[in-house]
């Protein structure tokens, strides 16, 4: 009563009789009022948070679903309705797996079990079936939803439509591995298939053949009727060749009017000659253009595994030499590889012997090629590149001339460790001399990364040289990730956890590139120079480069272009927001002394 009187302004009431009795009452009343204010503030904050969540939930372009522990969809946003074609009411009557394409169900069950058992979010790809029966590829992120007492009550799922990404992936693969004019596999894909075919050939001891084919008389068509008609003839030739080979054979266009054919799993070497005869017969009907017949024929060279070579390059090289001998005989024939060509085998044995001794004799050198940031013109990194000062050569040998032999003989293991130690020592020295921002990239080999002690060796090198791990970058290839993927991915994750950056070298030239991007903690993509070299005059290469830059940036990766040699290539890369470049336009790989001179003369002016 006294409190109510005070509220009404009756202060004299309090003073009339022992006001001290009102103190506890006043304190309690003030406390209750403060509690009411706090509750009101919490309610308002909660309403605000709910409003923000609802706004995000409903406006998200990604589909969001809440699923009970029994698998029933209990809430969906509008994006889920658009993604699936079902109404919200229909979706709420369905289990989430009803939308999953059958072949992904087992993978999804395992993923959800992993989420519930570990309590950690998981991300995986699958396809869902829309109401109209069409399929949509998605990336799904699933996470546990918990009550206030930390007990799981359901699952949250975010579904991202990756239709455009998948389309871009298919385009990249198609452009990278097929000839745009004929639709045939290109030289890159041919070599991939040849490498694959050599494995069973070595196991079963069945011969295989490589056939190089060059057209006779094709220049007459181009000179007489123009390149458009010449392109038409090349397309017709491609069709005739495909019709003349077996289902398991591969015919590829290697460039110009030259084709290369893989003939695996032959019963005996004579089978290759019979196929060559059939191919010659495919040219007997003349090509009719604008009412005029053009008698185009072919010169072919054959090499047989294992008689004429043990590796793709050797087989192709020997078949090419045989083809030129057929040309010299007037064309319209085929030639087998001459045993005299196999003198290269003796050269290889000598190379193996010299390679084993080279490290002991200190014949190897490290050269460095600068990586230039396009935004500043500054050298921010360098790639360490191996050179061999062979005692019998009058020049430095590049890895292309010996690295394959090093890998096959095991010399690559001590050699790679020497490269890493030398590169880190040099980089650490430059850091102390006023270039602390300079990063060094070192190429890894698959033989090196699969060794159990590799991660320990890397730690030891960093400790011994004083190199900061974040200033070291390892370059890997797509092939490395495809071979023994479990071990490779585990080792790369360990390196990344140490602070070492990882980059994908020669990106775009391997079948597994996009799958690798999902599984490996990459920071950088390095576009292969075979694409960069053609961007000024080849629309296919230009399209690939633009797509790769966009793909890299969408994945929050830095993109570096290798093999930049002309101002036109540089301008193209700048126009499409490539991050950094390296190539002869700025500098070839140079010795450490010359590289230090480059550091003192930067930035480069574009």
CA–CA separation, 51 and 55 (whole Å): 6
Across 205-227, b (16+ Cβ under 10 Å) vs e yields eebbbbbbbbbbbbeebeeebee
**pLDDT 10s digits, 91-106:** 999 998 899 999 999 9
Greater confidence (114 vs 508) lies with 114
pTM to 2 decimals? 0.49
**pLDDT 10s digits, 485-496:** 777 888 999 999
Q: What percent of the chain has pLDDT over 70?
A: 86
For the cut 50, the answer to whether the pLDDT of residue 15 exceeds it is no
Tell how strand 580-581 and strand 558-561 pair up: parallel
Report pLDDT for 518. Answer: 73
Q: How confident is the model at residue 440 (pLDDT cuts 50, 70, 90)?
A: very high
- Of 521, 594, 583, 581, nearest to 380 (Cα)? 581
**pLDDT 10s digits, 388-398:** 998 887 789 99
Report pLDDT for 435. Answer: 94
Report pLDDT for 561. Answer: 94
DSSP 153-172: EEEEEEEEE-HHHHHHHHHH
| Domains recognised in the chain with CATH numbers | 2-57 (no CATH), 60-161 (3.30.450.20), 169-337 (3.30.70.270), 347-598 (3.20.20.450)
Asked whether the CA dihedral 573, 574, 578, 580 is positive or negative, the reply is positive
Q: What percent of the chain has pLDDT over 90?
A: 51
- Of 421, 475, 422, nearest to 449 (Cα)? 475
**pLDDT 10s digits, 525-578:** 998 888 888 888 888 889 989 999 999 999 899 999 999 999 999 999 999 999
β-sheet bridge partners, residue 156: 66, 143
- Residue indicated by tokens 């790989």: 589
Span 397-421, mean pLDDT? 88
For the cut 70, the answer to whether the pLDDT of residue 292 exceeds it is yes
For the cut 50, the answer to whether the pLDDT of residue 345 exceeds it is no
Rounded to the nearest integer, the mean pLDDT of the chain is 86
Q: How confident is the model at residue 503 (pLDDT cuts 50, 70, 90)?
A: very high
Q: Which tokens hold the place of 239?
A: 């069709």
CA angle in degrees (0–180, nearest 5) for 14-16-19: 45
Are 2 and 14 in contact by the 8 Å Cβ rule? The answer is: yes
DSSP 330-372: TSSEEEEPPGGGGGHHHHHHHHHHHHHHHTTTT-EEEEEEEEE
**pLDDT 10s digits, 118-147:** 888 999 999 999 999 999 999 999 999 887
Greater confidence (430 vs 506) lies with 430
Q: Which tokens hold the place of 81?
A: 């309705």
Report pLDDT for 448. Answer: 85
Are 399 and 439 in contact by the 8 Å Cβ rule? The answer is: no
**pLDDT 10s digits, 220-278:** 787 667 788 889 999 999 999 999 999 999 999 998 899 999 999 999 999 999 999 99
Q: How confident is the model at residue 115 (pLDDT cuts 50, 70, 90)?
A: confident
Report pLDDT for 370. Answer: 96
Report pLDDT for 578. Answer: 96
């Amino acid at each position: 009563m006294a409190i109510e009187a005070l509220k009404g302004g009756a202060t004299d009431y309090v003073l009339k009789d022992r006001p001290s009795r009102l103190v506890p009452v006043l304190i309690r009343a003030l406390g209750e009022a403060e509690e009411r204010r706090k509750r009101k503030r919490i309610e308002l904050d909660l309403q605000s948070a709910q409003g923000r969540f609802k706004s995000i939930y409903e406006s998200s372009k990604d589909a969001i679903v809440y699923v009970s522990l029994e698998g029933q969809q209990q809430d969906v946003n509008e994006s889920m309705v658009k993604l699936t074609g079902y109404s919200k009411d229909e979706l709420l009557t369905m289990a989430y797996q009803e939308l999953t394409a059958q072949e992904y169900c087992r993978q999804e069950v395992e993923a959800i079990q992993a989420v519930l058992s570990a309590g950690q979010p998981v991300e995986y790809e699958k396809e869902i079936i829309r109401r109209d029966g069409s399929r949509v590829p998605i990336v799904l992120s699933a996470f546990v939803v918990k009550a206030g007492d930390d007990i799981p009550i359901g699952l949250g799922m975010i579904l991202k439509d990756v239709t455009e990404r998948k389309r871009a992936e298919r385009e990249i693969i198609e452009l990278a591995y097929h000839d745009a004019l004929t639709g045939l596999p290109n030289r890159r894909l041919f070599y991939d298939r040849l490498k694959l075919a050599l494995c069973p050939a070595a196991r079963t001891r069945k011969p295989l053949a490589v056939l190089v084919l060059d057209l006779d008389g094709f220049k007459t068509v181009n000179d007489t009727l123009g390149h458009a008609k010449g392109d038409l003839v090349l397309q017709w030739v491609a069709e005739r060749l495909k019709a003349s080979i077996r289902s398991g054979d591969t015919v590829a266009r290697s460039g110009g009017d030259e084709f290369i054919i893989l003939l695996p799993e032959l019963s005996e070497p004579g089978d290759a000659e019979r196929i060559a005869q059939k191919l010659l017969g495919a040219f007997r009907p003349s090509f009719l253009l604008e009412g005029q017949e053009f008698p185009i024929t072919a010169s072919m060279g054959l090499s047989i595994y294992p008689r004429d070579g043990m590796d793709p390059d050797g087989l192709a090289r020997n078949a090419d030499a045989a083809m030129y001998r057929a040309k010299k005989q007037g064309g319209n024939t085929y030639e087998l590889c001459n045993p005299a060509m196999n003198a290269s085998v003796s050269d290889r044995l000598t190379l193996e012997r010299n390679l084993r001794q080279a490290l002991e004799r200190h014949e190897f050198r490290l050269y460095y090629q600068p990586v230039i940031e396009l935004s500043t013109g500054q050298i921010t990194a360098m790639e360490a590149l191996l050179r061999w000062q062979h005692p019998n050569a009058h020049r430095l040998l590049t890895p292309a001339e010996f690295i394959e032999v090093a890998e096959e003989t095991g010399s690559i293991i001590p050699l790679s460790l020497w490269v890493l130690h030398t590169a880190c020592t040099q980089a650490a020295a430059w850091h102390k001399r006023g270039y602390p921002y300079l990063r060094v990239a070192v190429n890894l080999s698959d033989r090196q990364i699969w060794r159990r002690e590799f991660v320990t060796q890397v730690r030891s090198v960093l400790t011994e040289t004083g190199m900061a791990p974040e200033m070291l970058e390892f370059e890997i290839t797509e092939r490395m990730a495809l071979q023994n993927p479990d071990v490779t991915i585990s080792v790369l994750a360990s390196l990344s956890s140490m602070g070492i950056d990882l980059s994908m070298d020669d990106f775009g030239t391997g079948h597994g590139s996009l799958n690798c991007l999902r599984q490996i903690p990459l920071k950088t993509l390095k576009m292969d120079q075979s694409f960069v070299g053609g961007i000024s005059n080849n629309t296919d290469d230009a399209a690939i480069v633009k797509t790769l830059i966009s793909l890299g940036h969408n994945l929050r990766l830095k993109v570096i272009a290798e093999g930049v040699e002309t101002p036109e290539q540089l301008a193209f890369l700048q126009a499409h927001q490539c991050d950094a470049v390296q190539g002869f336009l700025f500098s070839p790989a140079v010795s450490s002394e010359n590289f230090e001179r480059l550091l003192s003369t930067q930035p480069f002016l574009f």
